[in-house]
């Protein structure tokens, strides 16, 4: 086994948009596991929008990413050395080892997974954090009733695609919002949504409002928010009385410079009174108690072929910074991964 480990560290904090100069490649020794730890050869890295928020040195729901330390991130890989009785060499595990080829972690914070029924990479997508995020926001916050209309932004992405498919499986009207005709075609034809609004086809907020109104003739009962900006404000204007809004992400504001006005600022707060809706932000790691239930349902649907997903896979550690920048710009199609093995 090699004794050297390649990793990517955060070299500087972005001032606005992320650039490759914010990262630095390093080669260090492969760490040795201590008692109660395992050494993992990482197979896939998960790239997710939340990582952008942690690159800032400001208040957020998690501590900022430390400078000169391995970039944070979800991983799936294979145990190659173990000093814990619960893990054996060859076990496949999900963890948060970050942007590196090898990582050591306490056994208690790793999750053993069975890739005999679903591909290993799926445990970073529909059977992992994105899928559980979709499951929680849809089932616990939106909690739709029979026949309601559920709208989800970034509908072709790792989270949004699961939300819409769960809604359709429950008999809801599922409406997606995505960028470009190819993504919208995928959302309707492959994932089974009832409609999809191509927000890039709208030249003005007024035109976006028209497109969303046409796709939601009976209004909106549940909204799963991943994007923010004009999309958020437009959908709020379509909410029915007692609608529920699950706020998972606001990617339109992630590259804002310090002091820059938020694009997701609510422009018509009177809607809180008119529609009496409930709007709740959430972070899925606050709800670890629901993970077993969610993963059981999601892996079951995947194994049966009833939950479809798509992956954008970059090859090799060297491709990671550009893949992450592309994710923030919406250039990925489905779950963004980096394959290391």
322-334: pLDDT as tens digits: 999 999 998 999 9
**What pLDDT shows up at residue 200?**
96
**How many CA atoms lie less than 13 Å away from 80 in the CB half-sphere?**
17
Could you tell me which residues are beta bridge partners of residue 178?
Answer: 198
CA dihedral 228, 229, 230, 235 (to 10 degrees): 20
Cα angle vertex 227, ends 231, 134, to 5°? 120
What domains lie within the chain, and their CATH numbers? 4-125+309-339 (3.90.180.10), 129-285 (3.40.50.720)
Task: Check whether 59 has a pLDDT greater than 80.
Answer: no
- Round to whole Å and give the CA distance between 67 and 124: 25
How confident is the model over 65-88, as pLDDT tens digits?
A: 999 999 999 999 999 999 999 999
Q: Tell me what the pLDDT averaged over the chain comes to.
A: 95
Could you tell me which residues are beta bridge partners of residue 223?
Answer: 151, 245
Task: Check whether 51 has a pLDDT greater than 70.
Answer: yes
Distances in Å between the Cα of 24 and the Cα atoms of 12, 18, 338 are 9, 13, 17
Task: Check whether 112 has a pLDDT greater than 80.
Answer: yes
Task: Check whether 263 has a pLDDT greater than 70.
Answer: yes
**What pLDDT shows up at residue 3?**
84
How confident is the model over 225-258, as pLDDT tens digits?
A: 999 999 999 999 999 999 999 999 999 988 888 8
Percent of the chain with pLDDT over 70: 99
Task: Check whether 217 has a pLDDT greater than 90.
Answer: yes
Neighbours of 283 (CB within 10 A): 13
**How many DSSP H helices and E strands does the chain contain?**
9, 15
User: Can you give the length of the chain in residues?
Assistant: 341
**What pLDDT shows up at residue 212?**
98
**Alpha-carbon Rg of the chain, whole angstroms?**
20
**What pLDDT shows up at residue 142?**
98
Confidence grade of residue 1 (pLDDT, cut at 50, 70, 90): low
Q: Are the C-beta atoms of 5 and 29 separated by less than 8 Å?
A: yes
Q: Which helix (H) or strand (E) holds 195?
A: strand 195-198
Q: Are the C-beta atoms of 5 and 101 separated by less than 8 Å?
A: yes
Q: Are the C-beta atoms of 317 and 338 separated by less than 8 Å?
A: yes
Task: Check whether 2 has a pLDDT greater than 80.
Answer: no
- Round to whole Å and give the CA distance between 112 and 43: 14
Exposure of 315 by Cβ count < 10 A (0-12 exposed, 13-18 middle, 19+ buried)? Answer: exposed
**What pLDDT shows up at residue 18?**
97
> 327 — alpha (psi -120 to 50), left (phi > 0) or beta?
alpha
Contacts of 189 (CB under 8 A, 6+ apart): none
Q: What is the rounded average pLDDT of the residues 146-151?
A: 97
**What pLDDT shows up at residue 258?**
82
**What pLDDT shows up at residue 241?**
98
The DSSP secondary-structure symbol of 13 reads -
Q: What is the rounded average pLDDT of the residues 28-45?
A: 97
């Amino acid at each position: 086994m090699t004794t050297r480990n390649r990793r990517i560290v955060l070299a500087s904090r972005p001032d606005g948009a992320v650039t490759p100069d914010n990262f630095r490649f390093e080669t260090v020794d492969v760490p040795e596991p201590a008692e109660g730890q395992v050494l993992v050869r990482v197979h896939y890295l998960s790239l997710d929008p939340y990582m952008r928020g942690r690159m800032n040195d400001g208040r957020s729901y998690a501590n900022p990413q430390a400078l000169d330390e391995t970039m944070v991130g979800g991983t799936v890989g294979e145990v190659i050395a173990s000093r814990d009785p619960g893990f054996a060499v060859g076990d496949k595990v999900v963890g948060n080892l970050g942007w590196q080829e090898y990582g050591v972690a306490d056994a208690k914070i790793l999750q053993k997974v069975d890739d005999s029924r679903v591909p290993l990479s799926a445990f970073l997508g529909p059977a992992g954090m994105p899928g559980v995020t979709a499951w929680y926001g849809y089932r616990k916050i939106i909690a739709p009733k029979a026949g309601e209309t559920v709208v989800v932004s970034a509908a072709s992405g790792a989270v949004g695609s699961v939300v819409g498919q769960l809604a359709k499986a429950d008999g809801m009207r599922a409406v997606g919002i995505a960028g470009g005709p190819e993504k919208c075609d995928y959302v309707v034809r492959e994932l089974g949504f009832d409609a999809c609004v191509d927000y890039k086809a709208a030249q003005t907020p007024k035109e976006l409002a028209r497109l969303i109104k046409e796709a939601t003739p009976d209004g909106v009962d549940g909204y799963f928010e991943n994007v923010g900006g004009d999309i958020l404000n437009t959908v709020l204007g379509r909410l029915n009385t007692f609608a529920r809004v699950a706020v998972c992400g606001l990617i339109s504001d992630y590259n804002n410079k310090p002091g820059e006005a938020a694009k997701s600022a609510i422009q018509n707060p009177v809607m809180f009174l008119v529609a009496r809706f409930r709007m709740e932000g959430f972070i899925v790691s606050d709800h670890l108690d629901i993970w077993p239930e969610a993963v059981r349902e999601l892996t079951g649907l995947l194994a049966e072929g009833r939950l479809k997903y798509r992956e954008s896979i970059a090859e090799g550690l060297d491709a990671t910074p550009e893949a992450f920048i592309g994710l923030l710009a919406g250039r990925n199609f489905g779950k963004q991964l980096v394959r290391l093995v």
